[in-house]
Structure 1
Amino acid sequence: MTLPTLLCDARNRFKQHLDSCDWSELTAGRKRILEVFLRLASIEGYSAVTMRTLAKEASVKAASIYFHFPDGRSEIVCQSLRWHYSNWGYSILQAIDKISEPELFWDALVSAVARSQISIPASDLWDLLVRMDRVGGFLEVEFRQEIDDWLDLCAGLFQASAAAIGYTVDRGRVNMIMSMLDAGSNWGQWNGDAADLDAIAEQATIVSRAMLSAPMGRLKRTTTPDEVAKQE
């Protein structure tokens, strides 16, 4: 069996975006700084990671950080998040790349996202920084657009996969499912065991299918007292 063209196209766009990130010039020094930043920010919080702390934990001099990243902290933040979503994306792609059955594709996609979200601490950091940027706007404009494009590709992959198994869902429904997966570290309460991660991924798959098939009505907005008075 082959996948529908719509789903193949969504998967290809997902892969093409990942391949567009050129890491050929990522030296061992630059890579270490990015990975240390992600680790520290995941543990201590984004704002707590100073250049001095980063240099100490990476076992380099502060000046060498600017040698690797001339634009300093802003460049490190963008590149570390880009490095994370590249690794995250390729792990998802690896899980779905050889699957040709639509039903299995959906399960593999949801399972892979759930596993990555829970087992990689930087995944929660990524989500947090994206939400913080929505409020504070601290990321560079170009990189913010890149994030939006990436999230759109992810949502498009879920939407095409849902359509392939018979569900016509809008982005609102897709966003609900993705939000459920993003919160996996909260509801999954992973104990670090591989078997427990398998069980959480299976639960995520079951819940995602229930969310696909659940009726979806518009939420009714509560009428305020002022609006009631105007109606009278």
Structure 2
Amino acid sequence: MPRPRHEPRDVAPEVFSPGGGGPKGKHIKDVLTALVLDMRDGALLPSERVLAERFGVARMTARGAIDDLEARGLVRRVAGRGTFVQHPTLVHSDTFRSFSEDMRARGMVPGARSYRGRTRPAPRDVAARLGLAAGDPVHSIERVRTADGVPMALERTNLSAERFPGLLTEMGRDDSLFEILARVFGVRLESAEQTVSISRLSRVEARRLEVPDYEPAFLVERVAVDTMGNAVEFGRSLYRGDRYVIQMHVGRPPAPD
């Protein structure tokens, strides 16, 4: 039975131009890389036959470009079905970084959507984590964090309004909270206690993260402390379960004497 052609849909014909006078293989790899990064996760890629026809190259050249994408983890082949876009999975490690620092270290551009900052009385659980009295004013910041424009996490965090007056005035939607704390308030975060559990996204949360309703996510609770050991930030953030894995360094206990 002939293999399916997998004709591209909603892709402008000029995307598959033969290119200039450079190597055809490199041109196809560059075009397909840009195409894959712009497509949704799980989208079906055109078949090798279609790619060869559209680029005007041998099928072996098109296959080599797909091999390259697969080796880089950008696509996955499924026998009898085709080649599918596979967005990279990010490792949430035990290294203490801000979201912005983490994305930049990966060569990605950090950003945010749906920013909301307000000052409110601290609920008991938030106050306890920050070493405050219930009802003391706290700044609460909520936003969807993005990497290269893709939603990655729904971030909710709280800080003492008395210790950080004017924080919400200084803080912009895309700003790194850690950088604002260091630059404006002279506070450097040293370490954090984190707990990770599994949660299911509500319909509203799922839509904000652009995933199906009730998808599993990592719920990360964190208390960050400064160089003096004082609690600075307490947050609960939801990280997409389809984009993250959790990495931990573990070791054996010392041998008994």
Q: TM-score, normalised by structure 2?
A: 0.26
Higher relative CO (Cα under 8 Å, sequence separation at least 6) belongs to 1
- Identify the structure with the greater helix proportion: 1
TM superposition score normalised by structure 1: 0.28
Q: Which has the larger radius of gyration?
A: 2
